[in-house]
Each structure stands twice: as C-alpha cells, then as structure tokens.
C-alpha cells in the first residue's frame, strides 16, 4: 500500500516528541507566505518558537527580492519566529546555523546529506533543493531587532516550470514522509539559539560546504573571480583572487555564482 504523505497538523504532531509544545505550531493548507505571516505575528507579540508550516504558498519569497516557487503538495514551507538573546554579531550566525539544522533534518529523514552553498542554499546532485530566508523584525519605536524569522522552503515533490528545471530539484522522499521532515525541522530549528551560542555547527557547515576550494563570481561584481579559501567563525566567506588579493564576504545581501549553478 502507498504510504500517505499529505502534510497535516496531526501528521506532523505524530512525529514530534511528547515534550514538544504543539501549541506553537500553526498549520496552513494555503498561505501567501509563512515568513510574511510570521513577521506579522511577531509584530503582534507572538512568542519565541512560534512555527508556521504550509502545504502551499501563493507569494513565497526568496532572498534578494526573488520569489520562491511553492506549489501545492510540492514541498514544505516552514517559518519559525525566534526572539533570541544574541549579540548582533551572533545574530548573523542564525542564518548560517539554520543551514546545518535543516541539512541535519533532511539527513535524519532521507539519509542523504545535502551540500551547503554559502550562505544557506542546500543542493543535491547540483540542483537547489532548499532555500532559507532569515529576516529580522525590528521594534517600530526603538528600531532595535526584537525577533528573527527563519523561513525554509524544501522541494519534495515539486514539478518545476521549464525555467527552473535546470537549477531546482527535489530531495528524495523514497521511504520518507513530509510530516516527519516537518517535525524534524520543528525540533532542530527550535534549538537554533543554542546552536549559535555553542558554535557547534561551524565544523559541519565547513565539512559540507560546496564552495570551499572552488572558484566563485560575485553576482554584484560581474567578471570578478575568487577562490574560496574557507569560511570564518562569523560565517564569512574567505576569498583570494589569482593576483593574491584577499577579502572576506559577510552574510549580507550578496550572492555568489559557482560554475554551472544559479
């Protein structure tokens, strides 16, 4: 008999540990964007650890103002709202740590560890299977950041339009199901603050990086070519040009292009 693989609130809860506070999870069959809704809820005072999971997004958003393809039953569209007590320097690491937490969740369910493209795209067989968008929510009066929303989109069974077919792929769901993956994400991403504090994820991030030792071009600087020599403790990309010029890229609004990839 075919295993049921419809994402549902009950299905997700079945895979969560007893101790997990299920009242933190909101499930939507269709939503505009789990990140947009999580930011709205943050402004209304929703607590640390609030999780939104959707089966479809009508206005899924990616980094650099791009859209994120989120068709019905095609994947898991997930956001967690965190109110971490971290310095601004460590806040930057939330997005780096999130890639490891999500890759660990994918591995736990599919037994395949994705490769990480700096900053936080996950790839399998040369195709992007997951994107992560972390957004700060600032206090309207003080302007100080008071929350961060970490949004994760994982392609599981998406049928891509022609323009995405070359660059986007699905994780392998053979023997795996979306509800258990959503539960893994909930548990692991709820632990992000702790991960950042202990810096325990950095080694795994480097081990599974698909950019270290490869040449990249900075999207914002066409024609520039650098060798990636490493990833620093603040998540920064360490680069060296053929002429010996060294520079570091912080996890800001800059993207890199690897030969043959997005």
Q: Which residues of the shown chain bind ligand BTN in the complex (CB under 6 A)? A: 33-35, 57, 60-63, 66, 68, 70, 77-79, 121, 131-133, 151-153
Please name the residues in contact with 218: beta carbons below 8 A apart, sequence gap of 6 or more: 224, 226, 249, 254, 255, 256, 257
Strands 50-54 and 25-28: parallel
Q: How far, in Å, CA of 88 to CA of 104, rounded?
A: 25
- Backbone torsions φ then ψ of 132, nearest 5 degrees: -130, 130
Nearer CB in complex with ligand BTN: 240/262: 262
- CB of residue 170 to ligand BTN, shortest distance in Å: 15
Cα angle, residue 39 at apex, residues 177 and 28 outer, rounded to 5°: 35
Which residue's CB is nearer to ligand BTN, number 17 or number 252? 252
Least distance between ligand BTN and beta carbon 254 (Å): 13
Residue for token pair 């101790």? 19
Q: Shortest approach of ligand BTN to residue 106 CB, angstroms?
A: 14
Q: Which of 80, 107, 77, 108 is nearest to 94 (CA)?
A: 80
Beta strand spans in 36-74 (E):
50-54
Closer residue to ligand BTN, CB minimum distance, 66 or 111: 66
Q: Give least dist CB 79 to ligand BTN, A.
A: 5
Which residue is at the shortest CB distance from ligand BTN? 131
Which residue's CB is nearer to ligand BTN, number 95 or number 208? Answer: 95
β-pairing verdict for 215-218 and 256-258? antiparallel
Nearer to ligand BTN, 11 or 74 (CB): 74
Minimum separation from the CB atom of position 244 to ligand BTN (A): 32
């Amino acid at each position: 008999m075919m295993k049921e693989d419809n994402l549902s609130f009950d299905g997700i809860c079945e895979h969560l540990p007893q101790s997990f506070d299920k009242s933190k999870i909101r499930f939507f069959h269709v939503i505009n964007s789990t990140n947009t809704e999580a930011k709205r809820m943050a402004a209304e005072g929703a607590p640390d650890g609030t999780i939104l999971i959707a089966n479809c997004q009508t206005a899924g958003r990616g980094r650099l103002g791009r859209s994120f393809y989120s068709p019905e039953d095609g994947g898991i569209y997930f956001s967690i709202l965190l109110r971490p007590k971290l310095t601004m320097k460590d806040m930057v690491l939330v997005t780096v740590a999130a890639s490891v937490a999500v890759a660990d969740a994918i591995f736990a369910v599919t037994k395949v560890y994705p490769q990480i493209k700096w900053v936080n795209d996950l790839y399998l067989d040369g195709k992007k299977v997951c994107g992560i968008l972390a957004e700060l929510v600032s206090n309207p009066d003080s302007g100080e950041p008071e929350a961060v929303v970490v949004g994760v989109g994982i392609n599981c069974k998406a049928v891509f339009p022609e323009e995405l077919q070359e660059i986007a792929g699905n994780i392998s769901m053979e023997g795996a199901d979306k509800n258990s993956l959503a539960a893994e994400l909930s548990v692991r991403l709820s632990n992000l603050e702790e991960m950042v504090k202990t810096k325990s994820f950095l080694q795994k991030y480097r081990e599974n990086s698909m950019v270290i030792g490869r040449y990249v071009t900075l999207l914002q600087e066409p024609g520039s070519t650098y060798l990636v020599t490493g990833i620093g403790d603040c998540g920064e990309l360490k680069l060296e040009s053929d002429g010996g010029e060294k520079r570091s890229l912080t996890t800001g609004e800059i993207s890199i292009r690897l030969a043959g990839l997005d």
